[in-house]
Amino acid sequence: MSDAVTTPAQDSEESTNWRSIPQIAVVFGLVLCMYGLVQDKQQFAFSYLTAFMFFLSLGLGSLFMVLIHHLFDAGWSAPIRRYLEHFSCLLFPWLGVAFIPIGFMAPDYIYPWMQVADPHEDHALYVKKALFNKPTWYAASTLLFLFWGWLTHRLRYWSLQQDKSGTAEFEGKLMFPEHLIASFYKNFQGLPFEKDNQQVLCTRMMRIHAAYGVVLFAFTLTLGAILWMKSIQHQFFSTMYGVYYFAGSVWLTISTAWITARVLKAKGLLPQVHNLQFYHLGTMLLAFTVFYAYIHFSQYFLIWNAAVPEETFWYVLREQGTWAYVSWALIIGHFLIPFLTLLRIDVKLTNKVMVPVFIWVILMHYMDMYFNMMPEIHPDGPSPAVADLGALLLIGGTLIWVFMRSLFSHPICPLRDPRMGEAIEHH
Amino acid sequence: MSKSFAIMAEYETPAEIMDAAKKVHAAGYEKWDVHSPFPIHGMDDAMGLDNAKVGYFTFFGGLIGFTTGMTMQYFMNKFDYAIVVGGKPLFSGFFAFPVSYELTILLGAFGSLIGMFVLNRLPRHHHPLLANERFADVTDDKFYVVIECDDDHYDEQTTRNLLEGTNAVHIEMVEGTE
């Protein structure tokens, strides 16, 4: 099995061209960003934040997919897990690095509450001052990336070590807090914790990280969505906001995972994926289409029903001018079209339908992010800017570049995962 | 003496019956079925069965549910008992949505259930196979292919030959009921 996996066609001219696309994107993105920065700093700041939150979705969504894979002891997702681990590892340091410009632009161009000198003057800010003050905001942002870095890299570390289990290359070293967790499971829970069986040790460590990780994942994702997105309009209240960002993130990730699997399979790099994986990803996409709609409707419905000015202003702004069309486009494009398309069972294995759907999903998620950020600086309606494209190319290009480098420097799918047999079995 | 209902072949393993199902399907039979103690993955493909039609019943059940919910609330709130609540319009898709959504699910589920009954021609209290003593083993460890005598391709000798060409351990005719 391993022979077929670890030999990507590195030297052929075609694949070299294919791999230089991200570099070109970064160069173009950088030029466009510079232009955008000179033209209008605030526009650039918002464009950059939109692109950042868009790609953060992918990192967090992939982390979630890896976590639930371990939590449910899933078999089918074993072959697609490795590249999801690479996607999630983009969270640290790369998305963390991408966040630095936001840190610099935040006070002057993005978050109006940072300019309020005295929180007593703004009641909405005063009640939220525990979270919405500069030191907390910067410290919390840093901690989020550090935590995501820890979780994603430990998950990938054990996953990569598992590939080497049973060979001389295996290291499998526990890092500091992992000792405590491991001894807790062994001594207090009485669970067998076979140190001698390297393959089992790796699976156990990944499961342990997934178990506490998923709880902290929920908190950190919510905090991230509140700190970086919701606080653009700090007066707004919504308990749904974190879940809302989460639903969209996983939705985007499923599409990206599907497309990545399709590309890798077409290139002959990941022969282990077959209809089982494509079907399940299609099913999950349908589930998250409904879930997102449910969450966004709930948020809207409660705000509409209660009609409290502190909440309604957020949607009132988004129903003015041409934003109203964007709102409608979200209802129809983010929910109705994918929902009705994905209903039929056979559609999920039809490439002609699924490829456009997945590309559509990516566009819709960007529109959703745009809908969340831009009304603050363009109350009359969406106004596309050069910086939008520039930021997307810059961040996206860098991340894909890093992703491809990690992808090709490790086995493309887990080699010694105990669940692999189940995943590649054909009926 | 009533006319025979079907010809029945018994198999001992899922692999054998899978193979037999492929042959029967290839021979072009339509009124036939496979009976097993548990679901066999890939049997639908081997038998050449299309996706079940129940989905259409579910979809239209759901559609009827949604429309019912919306029109019902429209009529009630706007005409039958118009009363302003909380400064909201007399009718709005927003407040009407949760109820419509529930009705979509309810009638969608009814649609599935009714669709399943209709497509399976249920309820039905008796079937010739149930009178066959050997067939009772289908609930235990035996697998059966049953080809009905009404099938256009059915011929007493050729069908029997076809089944004998598989790994059947036993072949017999099933008596019909009048």
Distances (CA, A) of A268 to A28, A265, A281, A351: 30, 5, 20, 17
Q: Is B91 on the interface with A (CB under 8 A)?
A: no
With contacts defined as CB-CB under 8 Å, which chain B residues touch A295? Answer: none
Q: Is the pLDDT of residue A13 over 80?
A: no
Q: Is A346 on the interface with B (CB under 8 A)?
A: yes
Q: Are B153 and B7 in contact (CB under 8 A)?
A: no
Of B55, B86, B97, the CB nearest to A301: B97
- Which chain B residue has the Cα nearest residue A304? B94
Would you state the pLDDT for residue B1? Answer: 47
pLDDT tier, A69 (very low <50, low <70, confident <90, very high otherwise): very high
Of A305, A343, A427, the CB nearest to B95: A305
Which of A221, A161, A207, A230 has its CA nearest to residue A68? A207
Order across the sheet with B4-11: list the strands.
B32-35, B143-148, B4-11, B170-175
Give the distance from residue B46's alpha carbon to the nearest chain A alpha carbon, in angstroms.
11
Q: Note whether B106 and B58 are same-domain residues.
A: yes
Could you say which of B73, B88, B119 is where a domain stops?
A: B119
At B26-58, the pLDDT tens digits run 998 999 999 999 999 889 889 988 888 899 999
Would you state the pLDDT for residue A421? Answer: 83
Distance CA A102, CA A151 (A): 23
Q: What is the DSSP string of A224-292?
A: HIIIIIGGGGTT---TTHHHHHHHHHHHHHHHHHHHHHHHHHHTTS-TT--HHHHHHHHHHHHHHHHHH
Would you state the pLDDT for residue A30? Answer: 94
pLDDT tier, B86 (very low <50, low <70, confident <90, very high otherwise): confident
ipTM beyond cut 0.90: no
Evaluated on CA atoms A61, A62, A67, A72, the torsion sign reads: positive
Secondary structure E strands in A93-252: none
At A377-412, the pLDDT tens digits run 999 999 999 999 999 999 999 999 999 999 999 999
Distance CA A377, CA A370 (A): 11
At A340-380, the pLDDT tens digits run 999 888 899 999 999 999 999 999 999 999 999 999 999 99
Which of A116, A114, A87, A106 has its CA nearest to residue A48? A106
Which of A56, A53, A65, A68 has its CA nearest to residue A110? A53
Q: Are B163 and B7 in contact (CB under 8 A)?
A: yes
Q: Is A345 on the interface with B (CB under 8 A)?
A: yes
B42 or A151, higher pLDDT:
A151
Of B41, B59, B86, the CB nearest to A427: B41
What is the domain extent for residue B86? Answer: 54-119
Please count the structural domains in chain B.
2
Q: Is the pLDDT of residue B80 over 90?
A: yes
Indicate yes or no: CB of B59 within 8 angstroms of CB of A343: yes
With contacts defined as CB-CB under 8 Å, which chain B residues touch A427? Answer: 41-42
Give the distance from residue B62's alpha carbon to the nearest chain A alpha carbon, in angstroms.
13
Would you state the pLDDT for residue A3? Answer: 40
User: What radius of gyration, in Å, describes the C-alpha atoms of chain B?
Assistant: 25
**Alpha-helix runs per DSSP H in B88-152:** 93-119
Indicate yes or no: CB of A304 within 8 angstroms of CB of B94: yes
DSSP B174: E
Would you state the pLDDT for residue A426? Answer: 57
Q: Note whether B12 and B95 are same-domain residues.
A: no
Tokens for A405? 């480098």
Indicate yes or no: CB of B94 within 8 angstroms of CB of A345: no
Would you state the pLDDT for residue A1? Answer: 36
Q: Are A62 and A253 in contact (CB under 8 A)?
A: yes
Q: Note whether B42 and B71 are same-domain residues.
A: no
Q: Note whether B150 and B112 are same-domain residues.
A: no
> How many other CB atoms are there within 10 angstroms of residue A380's CB atom?
10
Q: Are A236 and A230 in contact (CB under 8 A)?
A: yes
With contacts defined as CB-CB under 8 Å, which chain B residues touch A305? Answer: 86, 88, 94-95
Taking the CA atoms of residue B61, residue B67, residue B69 and residue B75 in that order, the dihedral angle to the nearest 10 degrees is -150
Q: Note whether B46 and B129 are same-domain residues.
A: yes
